[in-house]
Structure 1
Amino acid sequence: MALEDPFTDLKIETQSTGFYQGYNLPIALASKLSVSLLVIWALVWPFSANDTLRSWKSGLLSEFNTFYDFSVALFAFFLFIVALIPATGRMRLGADDELPEFSNFSWFSMMFGAGLGVGLMVYATAEPLGLWETNPLTVSGEVNSKSEEAIRGAYRYTFLHTGFHAWAIYVVTGLSLAYYAYTRDMPLTIRAALTPLLGEYANGVTGHVIDILGVVATILGVAVTIGYGVSQLVDGAFLMTGMQWLTDNADSAMKPSTAGLIAALALVMTMSTLSAVSGVGLGVKYLSNLNLILSMVLLAVFIAFGSFTFAMTTYLRALTDYIVNFIPLSFQTHSPASQEEFASVLPVEAAPFIGELFAGATDAWGTKETFLQALSDDAAALPDATKTAAYDASTQGRLFEWQSSWTTFYWAWWIAFSPFVGLFLARISKGRTVREFILGAVVAPSLVCFGWMTILGGSAIDLELNGDANGAILAASTTATLFVTLSEMISGNFLTIISIMCVILTMTFLVTSADSGILVMNTIMSGGAEETDLKHRVIWGVLLTLVIGTLLIAGGGGLEALTNSMIIGALPFSVVLLLMCVSLAKAMINDLRRSSQNGWSSAS
């Protein structure tokens, strides 16, 4: 029995005249209203907004931590299966003789810059070093924190957070959008990826809601990225200039000041908006190429002056360990600890101190020694066996706290970023095969990220492990770690030049992320149009600036309000991503059946 032709009659109504000419009015207005309400809430009631967001995030993670982790595992396995099956892997995103629009170098540099540029600058040294201090192997007591044995766990989870699982999140979105846009000639917008499931409902309110979720997730994902980036920008500017207004010294730890963050944000977003006005072919393309070149220079500095032999040895061991543990890592989830269950396994004499014992024993950032040292005099007088039992009984609670703060945070960040990066990947990937797209956008960037993290992060760990840094890198803030690591490796004018280059690189990564996000949001609101109105790009640049600025203020100059908003906003879009997998599987299977029945050319 012949299959019916697929539903492709996607009609996203846009205004023919007026201020919103070329845009879908419900999507544009609902998106702006959502963003405006968030800005007003964070600006007028900053403390209430921060506390509420913190509470919502805590409750959400308690219920959906496992959902986030299993969803990401599904994305990775789904894509590898699609790539490995010969019939689906050789499908082309476009006509049979379609050639890619961009060269491999430009394609990879744009993908690299948009997908993880700022994250690589902020976390290249900070994440491996942070995970060397605390990871599931240290939390469970299997190895000691900051030991040579802890390096294995540090890189196992660094690779998890920046590897195949992570990039699969982007590629599920990008492949889905590119498939329908280039094989079925449908608009390049989020709802198109669900048309095999929604059919004509994609033209109505359901389709509008899906696109709005995509816009809101993009705003929050880009906002967190910019927030971390401007923090690093301020750290770098302060270390080079010494201007005190850029930093607050709280408890002797350097922290970017709110004034410094807002000034850096204004500069970055002005440049981003100007770049977005120029479009993908000019601003985004050339900035992406510059990013990749400067990144290679920075990498060369670490190869020449860092711990390259240590890094390469670590790379090979860590990559093997990551691949061997790929399946266990995919499905390793933890649930929050219950104080009632905790109390039930302790002897009666511990009852008066249950609250204190529970709070300390579930702290994933401490050790058994710090747990014991922090106990009050009365609790410290308990028998050693009781205190040890309390700590051991909370292992699962510590693992949950660690996983929700590290791995689930990353998954939410990648998911929130995925409408932006996915649509951007689709926009630049016309003419490539499905297998080429998956391998090129999942495996290749992951291997580069692994090398980057081991060369930069390995140098930081080695400096601390052998005592050369004397704790200076460990004491630095997340966004200052890169600059402090450089100062332990090089000095003088050369350090100044490389630090300036890092500031420029961070800024260009920020501009690339922000202007790409602005372009993508306008594409979604205009029903998939590649060319959108300049004034709306400027308006969304201003709105994005306001979102980031007000949430920074709500967080007291910190990033808590931004990250909490992002984790909350990512949840509904993670459901959309799961539906994309189901939808794409259905579309590919039916297209292959049509091709075998009547030679339907689009599936060849």
Structure 2
Amino acid sequence: MSIPEPFTDVEIETADSGFYENYSVPIALISKAIMVGLVLWALVFPANANSTLGSLNSQLLEVFNSFYIVIVGFFFFFLAVVAIIPSTGRRIMGTPGEKPEFSNFSWFSMMFGAGLGVGLMVFATAEPLGLWGSNPVVVSGAVEGNTPEALQSAYRFTFLHYGFHAWAIYVVTGLSLAYYAYTRDMPLTIRSALTPLFGRFVNGIFGHVVDVLGVVATILGVSVTIGYGVSQFIDGLYAITGMQWIMDLGGEVPTPSKVGLISGLVVIMGLSIISAVSGVGRGVKYLSNLNLVLSIILLGTFVVFGSFVFAMTTYGTAMVDYVLHFLSLSFNAYGPLSAEAFAAALPAEAQAYAADLMGGATNAWGSFDGFKSGLEGAAAELDEATLAAAYAAGEQGRQFGWQAGWTTFYWAWWIAFSPFVGLFLARISKGRTVREFILGCVFAPALVCFAWMTVLGGTAIDLELAGAAEGAIIGASNTNKLFTTLSYMIDGGLLSMLNVMCVILIMTFLVTSADSGILVMNTIMSGGSQETGIKHRIIWGVILTAVIGALILAAGENNPMDALRNAMIIGALPFTMVMGLMCVSLAKALFRDSQRDKHSASSTQAAE
């Protein structure tokens, strides 16, 4: 019995002429309407936008936190199974016998370029240091934060957030796009990945909705990346020039002011738009090629002047610990703790004060001492043992708060960023086998991320453990931790040179990321075309700038990234569901293609 040929007739109607020539008008207009509406809301009603986004984000996390955690764990194990099965792993993404378009060296180099981006510049030191002070083991009270005992668990979760799970998210999208584009000659767009499940339905409104979700997720994911990058860019400018007008000096530590952030955003996005209009893209590409060299120089500086032995020791022990805890890290999800459950877990003498005790006991960012000192009235008179039991009763709430604030934020960020990185990985992987693509794009970049985090972050932690920094690195803002670490590691002309080099690195990463993100959005809106019009790149550059700027202005003074973060997590949720369908769809496609191959082989043998 023959197996029907797969549906490949994806038709994305595009305009034949006019402003939207070669673009899908519904996708473009709906995407723009959503983004422009978000911008106007944030500008006209900033307080309402900030509070509503924060409230909606909190409500969604209470319901979907476990969903985010479990589905990302599923993504990794799904890819592992696909790679291990012989019939699926050896399948070539292209025509039978087609050779890879790029050499292994070029392929790995481009993957490293995708991995060593703005996120790693910002969080190379901020991530290990932040998790050293607060991670689930610290939250449980098993160890104290910022101590040698907390180092192992700090890197366990650092590796979780930047390791195999993170790259599995990108590869799910990238593999789905590449498989259909190169084996079935279908458009390189999101809806193509769902054709095995929905067939001709992808040619209508349903397909438009799927592609719009991809555009919205991409622009919000890129917005958060650029937002953090611009903040670090401003910190770097301050370290070099000492310009006070770009900083808020009223707090405990200097942080980029909203004036500084908006100014930096305009400069970065202006350069990105100019490169798109004037053809200076070649220059930007040349500078982006230097990013790998500059990154190696920065890494080499930490190897020579930093705590390399401490970092490598940490790398080895952290890798073993990460592997041993891999399964629990993948699926250990927490839900919110209800007031009733908290009260029921309290000792009898404390139940009358449940309302007074719950807030402090479930605060993921507090401590037992902070919990005790924050109590008032009769609750504060409870004995030590009763208070310890009350604090223990709130552990699920603390674990949920921590997981939602750290791991789920990262999963949402990587999911929102996955159309961007996934499309990039797909474009450079034609001719590779499925197994080669999965192993190469999940493990190789993750190992580089691990090394980057342990060398840079380990040096910062060692400076704090040795007492050289005296809490200055811990106390610095996340985007300034790298520059603060450099200032305690070296000085003089070399420090000035490295500060300038880091600012150049950040700037070129940001410009190329913005350009690439805009290209991906235009590719989706043009039905998979890799050649997009300059005028549309300009418009989406302006929209991207407006989205980031409006949400920064709408956020509170102390946390200018909050509104961006909340909008991104909300926007990533629908696309997370699309990615789940992508996995089911890809499993069906691989299975049916294997059946077709077997039927074809048996038919050939019978004919012979």
TM-score in terms of structure 2 length = 0.96
Pick which of 376-385 and 243-252 moved more. 376-385
Matched to 1:33, the amino acid is A
> Shift of residue 283 of structure 1?
6.2
Q: Is the 2:347–2:390 Cα contact (8 Å) retained in structure 1?
A: no
2: distance between equivalents of 1:556 and 1:106? 44
Matched to 1:28, the amino acid is A
Is 1:98 paired with 2:102? Answer: no
Task: Give the structure 2 partner of residue 581 of structure 1.
Answer: 583
Q: 1:364 to 1:248 in 2, by over 3 A?
A: same
SS at match of 2:249: strand
Task: Give the structure 2 partner of residue 551 of structure 1.
Answer: 551
Q: Is the 2:555–2:563 Cα contact (8 Å) retained in structure 1?
A: yes
2: distance between equivalents of 1:219 and 1:468? 41
Task: Give the structure 2 partner of residue 306 of structure 1.
Answer: 306
Task: Give the structure 1 partner of residue 268 of structure 2.
Answer: 268
Task: Give the structure 2 partner of residue 562 of structure 1.
Answer: 564
The Cα offsets for residues 115-149 of structure 1, whole Å up to 9 and x where unpaired, read as: 45111001100110110101111111111211111
Pick which of 352-361 and 30-39 moved more. 352-361
Pick which of 280-289 and 204-213 moved more. 280-289
> Shift of residue 269 of structure 1?
1.0
The Cα offsets for residues 77-121 of structure 1, whole Å up to 9 and x where unpaired, read as: 011111122221121111234333334444334433344511100
Q: 1:337 to 1:116 in 2, by over 3 A?
A: farther
Task: Give the structure 2 partner of residue 444 of structure 1.
Answer: 444
Give the aligned CA root-mean-square deviation in angstroms. Answer: 1.8
Give percent identity, aligned residues only. 64
Task: Give the structure 2 partner of residue 28 of structure 1.
Answer: 28
> Shift of residue 351 of structure 1?
5.0
Is 1:379 paired with 2:379? Answer: yes
> Shift of residue 301 of structure 1?
0.5
The Cα offsets for residues 167-198 of structure 1, whole Å up to 9 and x where unpaired, read as: 00000000000000011000000000000011
Q: 1:544 to 1:125 in 2, by over 3 A?
A: same
> Shift of residue 428 of structure 1?
2.1
Q: Is the 2:98–2:431 Cα contact (8 Å) retained in structure 1?
A: yes
Is 1:173 paired with 2:173? Answer: yes
> Shift of residue 352 of structure 1?
5.8
SS at match of 2:34: helix
Q: Is the 2:132–2:145 Cα contact (8 Å) retained in structure 1?
A: yes
2: distance between equivalents of 1:403 and 1:116? 25
Task: Give the structure 2 partner of residue 333 of structure 1.
Answer: 333
> Shift of residue 347 of structure 1?
4.6
Is 1:86 paired with 2:62? Answer: no
1: distance between equivalents of 2:296 and 2:99? 28
SS at match of 2:19: coil
Matched to 1:590, the amino acid is R
1: distance between equivalents of 2:302 and 2:484? 13
2: distance between equivalents of 1:98 and 1:277? 36
Q: Is the 1:54–1:561 Cα contact (8 Å) retained in structure 2?
A: yes
Matched to 1:591, the amino acid is D
Matched to 2:470, the amino acid is N
1: distance between equivalents of 2:156 and 2:504? 31
Task: Give the structure 1 partner of residue 48 of structure 2.
Answer: 48
Pick which of 342-351 and 507-516 moved more. 342-351
Unaligned runs of 5+ in 1: none
Is 1:590 paired with 2:592? Answer: yes
- Structure 1 segment 70-219 matched on structure 2, within 5 A: 70-115=70-115, 117-219=117-219
1: distance between equivalents of 2:381 and 2:543? 56
Task: Give the structure 1 partner of residue 400 of structure 2.
Answer: 400
2: distance between equivalents of 1:280 and 1:335? 50
Aligned length: 601
- Structure 1 segment 503-542 matched on structure 2, within 5 A: 503-542=503-542
2: distance between equivalents of 1:158 and 1:87? 34
Q: Is the 2:115–2:445 Cα contact (8 Å) retained in structure 1?
A: no
- Structure 1 segment 315-464 matched on structure 2, within 5 A: 315-347=315-347, 349-350=349-350, 353-376=353-376, 378-464=378-464
Q: Is the 1:236–1:503 Cα contact (8 Å) retained in structure 2?
A: yes
> Shift of residue 556 of structure 1?
3.5
Matched to 1:305, the amino acid is F
The Cα offsets for residues 22-74 of structure 1, whole Å up to 9 and x where unpaired, read as: 00010000001111000000010011000000000000000001100010001
Unaligned runs of 5+ in 2: 603-608
